[in-house]
Amino acid sequence: MHRNSRLRRLEDLLVGIIVVLTGFSFVAAAAASGERKPSRPAPEGWELAGDLDNGKLIYKQYCQKCHGKRGNGQGTMAKDLEIKPRNFTDEEVMRERSDWQIYLGIKEGGAPVGLSEQMTAWEDTLTEDEMLDVATFIRQFVQTEATGDH
């Protein structure tokens, strides 16, 4: 009797551990795959169509030092950051992001969506068009990789 109830408790404990571990791995998988929700939905019919050339200039001036010349997240400042800048050539993560999420990430920064606070909001520095332009530019890092036509 005594032995049985101890065994039962052990079983309960094991089941508990498995449940917790499964929960963790789901959360970890979601974090690793970068699933995130934007802080608010895109307006009806919103489309990203910025100026690529101007976006490149903006990127070079403001973003490259962290996100890297090739968008791989290895800019000169990246080594000082605990949470590394997004690698824009990471297809797996970038394909999960909508254009709207990329744009909002630039406009409002990382904090509202649970990303690093080191990614600051740019809405006070850049104009609306400049944010759209640089978002458009960031998009081509994956397309470049995927199609190799640049």
Interacting residue ranges for ligand HEC, rule: CB under 6 A:
34, 62-63, 65-67, 77, 81, 83, 85-86, 97, 101-102, 105-106, 110, 115-116, 118-119, 122, 134, 138
Q: How far is the CB of 132 from ligand HEC (least distance, A)?
A: 11
Do 104 and 38 contact (CB within 8 A), yes or no? yes
Residue 6 or 118 with smaller CB distance to ligand HEC: 118
Residue 44 or 80 with smaller CB distance to ligand HEC: 80
CB atoms within 10 A of CB 10: 10
The Cα–Cα gap between 87 and 104 comes to 17
The Cα–Cα gap between 125 and 105 comes to 14
Q: In b/e form, how buried is each residue of 62-75, taking b as 16+ CB within 10 angstroms? A: bbbebbbeebbbbb
Q: How far is the CB of 81 from ligand HEC (least distance, A)?
A: 5
Q: How far is the CB of 27 from ligand HEC (least distance, A)?
A: 15
Q: How far is the CB of 133 from ligand HEC (least distance, A)?
A: 10
Q: Please, what sign has the CA dihedral across residues 30, 90, 48, 125?
A: positive
Residue 56 or 65 with smaller CB distance to ligand HEC: 65
The Cα–Cα gap between 52 and 50 comes to 6
